[in-house]
Amino acid sequence: MAANKKLVFLPGDGIGPEVMRQVSRVIEWYDRRRIASFDVAEGMVGGCSIDKYGTPLTDETMAQAAGADAVLLGAVGGPKWDNLPFAQKPERGLLRLRKDMDLFANLRPALVFKPLIGASTLKPEVIDGLDIIIVRELTGGVYFGEPRGITTLPDGSRRGVNTQVYTTGEIRRVARVGFELAKKRQGRLCSVEKANVMESGVLWREEVQKLHDEEFRDIALIHMYADNCAMQLVRNPKQFDVIVTDNLFGDLLSDCAAMLTGSLGMLPSASLGAADSSGRRKALYEPVHGSAPDIAGKDAANPLASILSFAMMLRYSFDMDEEAKLLEAAVVRALETGVRTGDILQPQTQRVSTTAMGDTVLQQLDKLA
Ligand code: NAD
């Protein structure tokens, strides 16, 4: 068994602590079975940290997260903190984590689990067996580019400006994540931009192609315009393996791909930084969903997105692919038993609590191990 891995656990607000409790149970299971051992330090982020410390993320928690092997986060936010000024909102805690750890690559898998095939709005044959992953550039592009702002013109009308900007380095580092992922999967990468109408898109396409020709000739690279990619995702999503794209297009396309699977409560994500000399990357794993204040405190939330985020952590931070597959298989088996939280309830299935869903995953882990 390898040395203990250092995790920082940030459950956050709303349903965050409830779903993360189930992740803790899964971690304890791996520990008990001596498959992997983790040193887990728990901290606060978001509204709970505002209530206790007056800030959505303390410097101490930030330092702890930056020094960890991986960070696991639940969710932040809620109506209690909605009226705070933008700079003091719970979400600022999450944004600071991403910014200070320079997490530039956001990985969002869209995986269709057979027992949930009916939850998608698309025909079963279109999504059966779907397993794609979108890599979105997270720290550059039009959301951060300067100049930006709203100005009033001499004639009294107003003008809004945002700037799409990318440098060679920013493109190459996220493209590299895409190529490396493709290498571990089916060996296919689709790079997405709008080189037909945007200079930043021309640069994106040229730099991705260059990196391919220099270092990743074994990967089958294609380029696609973002509007076509949106269409292809709903027409024939199984044509893709890994998609790499910028911040804006990635924001839209990853939500579109996520909904191919039909449920927010099932979607994990990873945000990765640059690899250091030992190949280790700073990394944050979290479910895609928010704090769901409407069901918080009721033991009703779906914990599977968080549990699957932990599986991503095993795979991407610790290279434990077999262990990640084991957990993913346990999730599928749990769903096959017919248990469902409210968000994925279907006819002829049994509605269960967050805790009972966690129980079922653990039972299936016991059977599979
Ligand atoms: P949300 O994802 O919290 O909820 C949307 C809907 O999906 C709700 O009806 C909710 O009950 C349901 N839902 C979400 N996750 C679920 C789960 N695991 N199991 C069962 N049902 C689930 O989005 P929202 O309502 O727009 O936002 C609520 C709060 O969460 C806001 O304060 C928002 O800012 C915050 N938020 C945080 C994050 C994050 O922490 N990464 C992301 C999105 C929203």
Given a cut of 70, is residue 1 above it in pLDDT?
no
How far apart are alpha carbons 70 and 72 in whole angstroms? 7
Least confident span in 124-128, 260-264, 340-344: 260-264
Concerning whether 155 is annotated as a catalytic residue, the answer is no
Q: For residues 349 and 339, is the Cβ–Cβ distance under 8 A? A: yes
pLDDT of residue 262: 77
* Alpha-carbon radius of gyration of the chain: 21
Report whether the peptide linkage leading into residue 303 is cis, meaning its omega lies within 30 degrees of zero: no
CB-based burial, 68-84: b 16+ in 10 Å, e otherwise: bbbbbbbbbbbeebeee
Question: What are the C-alpha distances in Å from 144 to residues 140, 148, 166, 207, 282?
Answer: 6, 8, 10, 20, 21
* b/e sequence 127-142, b meaning 16+ C-beta within 10 Å: beebebbbbbbbbbbb
341 alpha carbon to ligand 1 midpoint, in Å? 15
Is residue 294 pLDDT above 80, yes or no? yes
The vertex-91 CA angle with 174 and 295, nearest 5°, equals: 115
For the chain, helix, strand, coil in percent to 5 are 45, 20, 30
Q: Is 100 a catalytic residue?
A: no
Q: Report the alpha-carbon distance of residue 283 to residue 166 in Å, rounded.
A: 22
pLDDT confidence of residue 261: 85
Q: Ligand 1 mean position to 296 CA, how many Å?
A: 10
Q: Which helix (H) or strand (E) holds 350?
A: strand 350-351
In this predicted structure, which of 172-181, 261-270, 332-341 has the lowest mean pLDDT?
261-270
Active site residue 5: no
Give the tokens for residue 272.
């990765």
Which residue puts its alpha carbon closest to atom 25 of ligand 1? Answer: 292
Ligand 1 proximal residues by C-beta, below 6 Å = 15, 19, 75-78, 91, 94, 264-265, 286, 289-295, 301-302, 305, 341, 343
pLDDT digits 0-9 by tens, 209-242: 999 999 999 999 999 999 999 999 999 999 999 9
The pLDDT, as a whole number, for residue 3 is 66
Give the pLDDT band of residue 2 (cuts 50, 70, 90): low
Question: pLDDT for 311-355, tens place per residue?
Answer: 999 999 999 999 999 999 999 999 999 999 999 998 899 999 999
Kindly state the percentage of the chain with pLDDT values over 70: 99
pLDDT at 275: 85
- pLDDT tier at 127 (50, 70, 90 boundaries)? very high
CA 269 – ligand 1 centroid, Å? 14
Which of 227, 294, 321, 366 is labelled catalytic?
Answer: 227
- Catalytic residue, from 166, 194, 282, 343: name it: 194
| Cα gap 332→324, rounded to integer Å | 13
Query: Which of 251-255, 294-298, 306-310 shows the lowest mean pLDDT across its residues?
Result: 251-255
Q: Is 325 a catalytic residue?
A: no
Distance 290 CA to ligand 1 centre (A): 3
- Look up residue 185 and give its two tokens: 């999967």
Burial class of 162 by CB neighbour count within 10 A (0 to 12, 13 to 18, 19+): middle
Name the active-site residue from 241, 246, 251, 343.
Answer: 251
Mutate to test the pocket of ligand 1, among 269, 291, 355 (most ligand atoms within 8 A of CB): 291
Q: Which of 89, 264, 331 to mutate to test the pocket of ligand 1 (most atoms within 8 A of CB)?
A: 264
Q: Which atom of ligand 1 is nearest to the CA of 77?
A: 32
Q: Does the annotation mark 227 as catalytic?
A: yes
Question: In the numeric block, which tokens belong to residue 281?
Answer: 């990357």
Identify the DSSP state of 259: H
pLDDT in tens, 76-123: 999 999 999 878 899 999 989 998 999 999 999 999 999 999 888 899
Rounded to two decimals, what is the model's pTM? Answer: 0.93
